[in-house]
Structure 1
Amino acid sequence: MNWTDERVERLKRLWSEGLSASQIAAQLGGVSRNAVIGKVHRLNLPGRAKAGGTVATTRPAAKRPAASTAPRPANFQARPTAARPNVRTAGSTALKDDMDTDTARVLEYVPVSNASLPTSLRLTLTELTERTCKWPVGDPLKDDFHFCGCESHESSPYCKFHAKMAYQPVSERRRA
């Protein structure tokens, strides 16, 4: 199918009238809906309202309150959250609980002091064997890249420490 000047003009007119790509394809004949969409895209014709309603039937945007002159918090965690009721949906009706949520607490990061990290043997790729941990450490493009090299179990390519990092129980993955 060739896009003649007459067919392109007709496509533009039908598109501006608000016909769908399927309707335009049916009127033009010998062209698919996707061909019409592609041609509209290549011609950079203006887009139209999304399916589900016209521009006149969409809800007006909610008005935002005027910007306050108070300084903004430096990060997200420092922002206080206002208590608001929980809204839950059940079926096609929305039920509103009268329970208020508490404001979020800011948690501080406290490093674990009793964690034991394995001492890496810093092996290169050519030094690895069946019984050494093959956990990569660092950037492979840098000179200090190496593998853990600790003793690995028979059924795993990693030592006990790195196996815990590599393999998660199914229940923990589902929760996340």
Structure 2
Amino acid sequence: MNWTDERVEKLKKLWSEGLSASQIAAQLGGVSRNAVIGKVHRLSLPGRAKAGGTTAAARPKRATSAPRAPNYAARAVTRTVTRTAGATVLKEEVAVDLVAEQDLVLDTNIVVPMSRRLELTQLTERTCKWPIGDPLKEEFHFCGNDSPESSPYCSYHARLAYQPSAERRRMR
């Protein structure tokens, strides 16, 4: 099978529309899915466009300077997607619920308790055992503040250590 200029252009067009390698192979005819994948790789084409989305290369990078709490709001939009029915590729309009992130301003007035800087041998059942620093360094210590009877940590460090599972899932 020869890759003519016309077939390469058709491959590029179909790839940019988000068709899979199998769908492109079916439309080109006489070529396998693996041949399409190989040609896409040799042409250094960007990642296949997802239906209604952007490729990883075209996606804007988010600043990672400060952590932020996610807040999600759903909205419905209509997207054109392709699907196969046998050997036929169909395009159809589909209503999709999108979830968009909204930025929240975090409270910067958080009070972090002063640690008592205890060593391992100074810890008791009633002191916070939260480690602070690098254990291989001289300044390594434990928080040492008072902890409730049922917890190895003070109330501040317990909030850091024990997060509700729903909140952990949302932060991923």
TM-score bracket for the superposition, by shorter chain length: 0.3 to 0.5
Question: Which structure has the highest strand share of the two?
Answer: 2
TM-score using structure 2 length: 0.45
TM-score, normalised by the number of residues in structure 1: 0.44
Higher relative contact order (CA 8 A, sep 6+): 2
